[in-house]
Amino acid sequence: MVDTHAHIEMCEGTPDEIVARAAEAGVDRILTIGLTEETFDVSLAIADAHEGVFAAVGCHPNETTGFTDAMAEAIDRAAEHPKVRAIGETGLDFYRDSAPPDDQRRGFLAQIEIATRRKLPVSIHARGAEAECIDMLIEHGSELPAVILHCFSDAGELPRAVEAGFYCSFAGNVTFKNAPDLREAAANVPDELLLVETDSPFLAPMPNRGKRCEPAWVTLTAQLVAETRGVSYDELDALVTANAKRALDW
Ligand SMILES: [Zn+2]
Ligand SMILES: [Zn+2]
């Protein structure tokens, strides 16, 4: 099993403990995401210390206020590290809008450019801006090796995401009672575009909702997604493990 989006340094316990608990649950590949320049070293050190952990480096849309060339250069430099497998998370977040929309767009475009040049996939954070994010990816990201829509949450955009060939990665919120539309989306994603993740420490899946999430719990989300698709856990495991290997080249 795989967790294609986690923030290991924000989870409960040491990285060693978190990775060990994940391995015990059968989760042997984790992409840990550095949100800002300040956390790149932390993410890369965790990836260096654990064979099955890889890193993404980027600037979260909410952290893009005053996005500068120097920030883009820091991401570009960090992306040279051999365990970096994606740029991100990047995208647009007009729900929390802690950064001005134009700064978010500038940061997003810069990261699409870095990922394209470095032939790395992007891990996309889209909230309250899903349609515009997809528009920008279609317009500016046609040369990207892969696009992963992390914490896929806008069922209405599923047809366009699938049409564009974007991976749809489901997090713990797909297990929440009030998310029948997301479960329907999870049931309808084509086999080859389906992924799962935790976004830990956030969005713990049922029955652990409200607790501090960690990568081991991606198994709960995967179990629910398997049920909605009418396949066994092992079949789902094989599918998302193969998809993640193709998308992230790990
Ligand atoms: Zn996110
Ligand atoms: Zn995240």
Mean pLDDT to the nearest integer, 220-242:
98
What pLDDT is recorded for position 38? 85
The CA distance from 72 to 55, in Å, is 17
Instruction: Give the confidence band of 20 by pLDDT, cuts at 50, 70, 90.
Output: very high
Strand order in the sheet with 29-34: 2-6, 29-34, 53-57, 84-93, 122-127, 147-149, 167-170, 194-196
Ligand nearest to the CA of residue 9, numbered in listed order: 2
> Which ligand lies nearest to the CA atom of residue 133 in the structure?
1
- Of 92, 14, 105, nearest to 53 by C-alpha is 14
For residue range 79-102, what is the model confidence (pLDDT) as tens digits? 999 999 999 999 999 998 789 999
Centroid of chain to Cα 214: 14
State the distance from the centre of ligand 1 to the C-alpha of 206, rounded, in angstroms: 19
* Confidence at residue 36, expressed as pLDDT on a 0 to 100 scale: 83
133 CA to middle of ligand 1, Å? 13
Q: Which ligand is nearest to the CA of 4?
A: 2
- Taken in order 191, 197, 203, 206, the sign of the CA dihedral is positive
Name the residue among 65, 63, 7 with its Cα closest to residue 36.
63
Mean pLDDT of 101-109: 97
- Does residue 54 surpass a pLDDT of 80? yes
Beta strands in 101-151 (DSSP E): 122-127, 147-149
pLDDT number for residue 174: 98
Identify which has the larger pLDDT, 204 or 39: 204
| CA 150 – ligand 1 centroid, Å | 7
Gap between the Cα atoms of 141 and 39, Å rounded = 25
At residue 34, the pLDDT reads 87
Domains of the chain by start residue, with CATH: 2-248 (3.20.20.140)
What global pTM score does this model have?
A: 0.97
Q: How far is the CA of 151 from the centre of ligand 2 (A)?
A: 8
Ligand nearest to the CA of 201: 2
pLDDT of residue 39: 87
The percent of residues above 90 in pLDDT, for the chain, comes to: 96
Distance 188 CA to ligand 1 centre (A): 22
What is the 56 CA–ligand 2 centroid distance (Å)? Answer: 10
56 - beta bridge partners?
Answer: 33, 86
Cα-to-centroid distance, 200 and ligand 1 (Å): 10
Check if the beta carbon of residue 34 is closer than 8 Å to that of residue 46. no
Q: What's residue 47's pLDDT?
A: 98
